[in-house]
Chain A
Amino acid sequence: MTRLTLDNLDLHHAGAARPALSNLSLDVADGEMVALLGPSGCGKTTALRVIAGLIAPDAGAVRFDGRSVLHLPPERREAVLVFQSGQLFAHMDVAANVGFGLRMQRRPRREIADRVAEALAQVQLDDLGHRKPHELSGGQRQRVALARALVLKPGLLLLDEPLSSLDAHLRTEMRALIRRLQRETGITTLVVTHDQEEAAVLGDRVALMLGGRIHQIGAGAALWNRPADLDVARFFGGCNFIPGTSTGGVFDCALGRLALPDGAPEGQGCLTLRPEAIEPGPGENAVVMRVTETRFEGLLTRIGAEAGGLRLEALMRAGAARSARPGAETLWRLPREALWVLPGV
């Protein structure tokens, strides 16, 4: 399989206000599945197209196993891109669609038939070889598109929002299928998504892309709880930002002195913690807050509160939130292990 390296890619579409890719670097290990996560317009689809060879970058390099592939046209790259829409060819039946790439390679008819059958079995569509694309459901189309790529045994699989056109329960099913096939085949995979949960479930690692470059890459939980910068924190729904100074494991701020976890960076910075980490009641790092508003959000209730001119938000279960009335004072505990200091911000 193939190791993918992106080196300082730059790309500015003619007439666009901002660059689509700006100094984009990324390493995907052999056999790894990386989820490229970002809001729409962050350049993630552009990145896939550059890797697939459909667009040339202005600067930088794309390497497969260390060798630059920029001079290769899309059909001669080890990478196969599966388009967001699936892009099944309407005039071909399912089997012809899946066998398309092999026909382009002029493989023997026998071999094509065997490999198509095998690929259709992989995506559990054994009996649908003779259907036309318009006779398939959305989930089936997506699986045909996947089989059409897998049958080529590519070194690198590029999936562009493979689940975005599916409804919720199909999405879970498809997610599991992609995960399983990737494990079985060991094909290096880069999957683009705008959905945090999807990225966390699919990716061995998640790479968060904002404004044309990778801001942070790592395990899903790390991005969630230990953001590299304010943009990352905000992308994951972070809403609590407390300016102050960190000295010897203690954070000095408008809320008083808060105990920090071991190894927190020293100096001026910004303390952040996730709203769902805040707990009601006394204990270490407990602060008195005045509730300003509460909003029911289903399983959890969002509570806004103020202290020392700072506004914090907490997400609590209904039971814990019941006592919170706008105007009331309440005691919030900011658990030490949930605190994260962004230095120098």
Chain B
Amino acid sequence: MNGRLRAALGLALIAALVAPLVPLGLWSVARGWFYPQILPATWTLEPWARAFAPRSDIPGALMTTTLIALAASALALALGIPAGRALGLYRFRGKALVELALLAPVIVPGIAVGLGIHGVFLRLGLTNSALGVVLVHLVPTLPYVIFVMSGVFSNYDAEAEAQARSLGARPLQVLWHVMLPAIAPGVMVAGLFAFLVSWSQYILTLTIGGGRVVTLPLLLYAQAGAGRNDQAGVLAMLSLAPGLVILALVARQIGGRGMAFGGTR
């Protein structure tokens, strides 16, 4: 393939990747941008001002989404780090089966289990609550964290822990001074992307939250459906933000594959 063709194809690829984001971005700074205007006639920051005005739903949804994603990723880390350690460090009977069992929640679509989980949570009184939404977000986030941490631990030398014990460290000191610092970069990647996965959930949030727990994706469709395209544009831009921040934070830790595994489904 010659250089000019390569550059032309690359340019087409870049254009295609950016294209859907263009109208979203334009709407967030437009007033009354309708066919056949190619670009908005009036450029304004008014949609942003309105989005953060006192009576707007957006700040609340932003807070809800953030807190739910923080809680879900913290929980997923707490459960997923020990499990990832077991999978990364040990061989044992039934390991392949465990990995398959953890893969299933990644593959099986949310709606297929969500409706059933709704039944479980109905009995536990967890529907229509943020707590229930946090718990249901473990279905996509926990396997993701476990797989990332399993990869981290397979490059981890557990002998360092034995050495630390022999040097006088108690088990908890070993955990804090030896294991955590060694796996910290991996924990950060796993945690940030678990956050993103939770941040992007739609149908599980809708099923368990029952419309009472309003996160950014839900509000996005609601505003677009109501014809408030400018507010939807602002919401879309807000939804992009954590991904950009996280990418900047972990740019050096990822080689593509780590995050590619989950994406934000």
Q: Are A and B in direct contact (Cβ within 8 Å)? A: yes
Seen from chain A, the residues whose Cβ lies within 8 Å of a Cβ on chain B are 49, 52-54, 73-77, 79-81, 83, 85, 87, 89-92, 100-101, 103-105, 148-149, 152, 158
Given contacts A74-B165, A81-B162, 6 further A-B contacts (CB under 8 A): A77-B166, A83-B163, A87-B157, A89-B182, A105-B168, A152-B167
Cβ-closest chain A residue relative to B163:
A87
Cβ-closest chain A residue relative to B180:
A91
Assembled-state Cα–Cα distance A77/B166 (Å): 8
User: Judging by beta carbons under 8 Å apart, are A54 and B168 in contact?
Assistant: no
Contact (A75, B168) CB under 8 Å given A91-B181, A91-B182, A100-B177:
yes
Assembled-state Cα–Cα distance A52/B157 (Å): 19
The answer to whether B126 has its CB under 8 Å from any CB of chain A is no
User: Judging by beta carbons under 8 Å apart, are B169 and A54 in contact?
Assistant: no
Contact (A101, B167) CB under 8 Å given A54-B162, A85-B159:
yes
Q: Which 7 A-B pairs have the closest CB atoms?
A: A87-B163, A74-B165, A101-B167, A81-B166, A91-B181, A104-B169, A101-B168
* A contact residues around B56 at 8 Å (CB): none
User: Judging by beta carbons under 8 Å apart, are B182 and A90 in contact?
Assistant: yes
* A contact residues around B170 at 8 Å (CB): 73, 75, 104
* Closest Cβ–Cβ distance, residue B87 to chain A (whole Å): 21
Contacts of B181-220 to chain A: CB distance below 8 A: 181-182, 184
* B contact residues around A92 at 8 Å (CB): 181
Q: Mark B112-145, 1 if CB is under 8 A from A, else 0.
A: 0000000000000000000000000000000000
A54 in complex: contacting residue of B166, B173, B181, CB < 8 Å? B166
* B contact residues around A101 at 8 Å (CB): 167-169
User: Judging by beta carbons under 8 Å apart, are B165 and A87 in contact?
Assistant: no
* A contact residues around B157 at 8 Å (CB): 85, 87
Cβ-closest chain A residue relative to B184:
A91
Assembled-state Cα–Cα distance A203/B157 (Å): 31
* B contact residues around A75 at 8 Å (CB): 165-170
The answer to whether B160 has its CB under 8 Å from any CB of chain A is yes
User: Judging by beta carbons under 8 Å apart, are A104 and B159 in contact?
Assistant: no
Assembled-state Cα–Cα distance A87/B158 (Å): 10
* A contact residues around B173 at 8 Å (CB): 104
Q: Max chain A CB contacts within 10 Å: which of B160, B163, B164, B178? A: B163
Assembled-state Cα–Cα distance A90/B178 (Å): 9
Assembled-state Cα–Cα distance A296/B159 (Å): 43
* B contact residues around A149 at 8 Å (CB): 167
User: Judging by beta carbons under 8 Å apart, are A152 and B163 in contact?
Assistant: no
* A contact residues around B182 at 8 Å (CB): 89-91
Contact (A80, B166) CB under 8 Å given A85-B159, A100-B177:
yes
B167 in complex: contacting residue of A85, A90, A100, CB < 8 Å? A100
User: Judging by beta carbons under 8 Å apart, are A81 and B163 in contact?
Assistant: yes
Contact (A148, B167) CB under 8 Å given A83-B159, A100-B177:
yes
Q: Max chain B CB contacts within 10 Å: which of A54, A104, A158? A: A104
* B contact residues around A87 at 8 Å (CB): 157, 159-160, 163
Assembled-state Cα–Cα distance A54/B164 (Å): 11
Assembled-state Cα–Cα distance A158/B163 (Å): 12
Cβ-closest chain B residue relative to A52:
B166
* B contact residues around A53 at 8 Å (CB): 165-166
Assembled-state Cα–Cα distance A3/B167 (Å): 19
Assembled-state Cα–Cα distance A132/B200 (Å): 40
Q: Max chain A CB contacts within 10 Å: which of B160, B163, B166, B182? A: B166
Contact (A100, B169) CB under 8 Å given A87-B159, A91-B182:
yes
Contact (A74, B177) CB under 8 Å given A83-B159, A90-B182:
no
Assembled-state Cα–Cα distance A87/B166 (Å): 11
* A contact residues around B160 at 8 Å (CB): 87, 89
Assembled-state Cα–Cα distance A85/B164 (Å): 13
* B contact residues around A54 at 8 Å (CB): 162, 165-166
* A contact residues around B163 at 8 Å (CB): 81, 83, 87
